[in-house]
């Protein structure tokens, strides 16, 4: 039994290790957000700017999770959890808004092929850099999949989403698939983001005795 317990301890790490993991993830996420914001503004790609805002709220969720892990004070933990949940809701709302406005703006070009991968374009460069940074975030949080801790699970799912979505968008651009293919991936990403937020909320909600 103790062996099993140790296995889970190893997966999750000490509170300090977990907090460090969240802080590193938050910093990398902020970096990715900045790159995408600059790339989106310079490349005239509003989707990247909104994705940057979404990633910035993600970074704040990681920050709140780090506080939640580190603190022994019940009040602080409750506050950090409320903050993390509200930031997660913010990120999902931004992603939903982005998806809706893109769809409205693009309704006439859904069957047109995507522009293709042009690395001269600053927005494609920014998306590539974001994938590189988010692959590190995913690596840092890879063990969260097997963790029993709500915040670890959230971090894993969130890292996965923010790696898969830009990667699939670049993949779609590479094969010059029609625009609707991009939207199917984005719609999946948006709904997965809401699902993950709901899991975070449910996981932290104390069952009433």
Ranges of each domain in the chain: 2-204
Within 13 A of 79's CA, how many CA atoms are on the CB side?
8
Q: Closest Cα to residue 48, out of 110, 113, 120, 121?
A: 121
Closest CA to 169 of 133, 102, 116: 116
Mean pLDDT over each residue of the chain, to the nearest integer: 83
pLDDT band at 4 (very low <50, low <70, confident <90, very high): very low
Give the CB-side neighbour count of residue 119, counting CA atoms within 13 A.
Answer: 2
The pTM of the full predicted model, rounded to 2 decimals, is 0.79
pLDDT tens per residue, range 18-36: 999 999 999 999 999 999 8
pLDDT digits over 91-144, tens only?
899 888 888 887 777 766 667 776 666 666 777 788 888 889 999 999 999 999
Question: Which has more confidence, 182 or 66?
Answer: 66
């Amino acid at each position: 039994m103790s062996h099993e317990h140790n296995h889970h301890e190893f997966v999750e790490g000490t509170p300090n290790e977990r907090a460090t993991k969240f802080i590193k993830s938050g910093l990398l996420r902020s970096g990715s957000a900045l790159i995408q914001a600059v790339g989106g503004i310079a490349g005239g790609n509003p989707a990247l700017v909104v994705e940057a805002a979404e990633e910035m709220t993600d970074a704040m969720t990681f920050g709140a999770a780090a506080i939640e892990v580190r603190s022994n004070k019940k009040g602080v933990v409750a506050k950090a959890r409320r903050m993390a949940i509200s930031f997660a809701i913010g990120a999902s709302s931004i992603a939903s808004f982005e998806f809706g406005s893109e769809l409205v703006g693009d309704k006439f070009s859904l069957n047109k092929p995507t522009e293709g991968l042009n690395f001269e374009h600053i927005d494609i460069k920014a998306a590539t850099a974001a994938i590189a940074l988010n692959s590190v975030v995913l690596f840092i949080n890879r063990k969260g999949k097997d963790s029993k801790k709500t915040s670890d699970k959230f971090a894993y799912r969130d890292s996965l989403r923010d790696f898969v979505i830009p990667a699939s968008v670049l993949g779609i651009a590479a094969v010059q698939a029609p625009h609707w293919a991009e939207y199917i991936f984005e719609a999946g990403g948006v709904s997965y983001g809401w699902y993950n937020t709901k899991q975070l909320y449910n996981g932290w909600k104390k069952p009433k005795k």
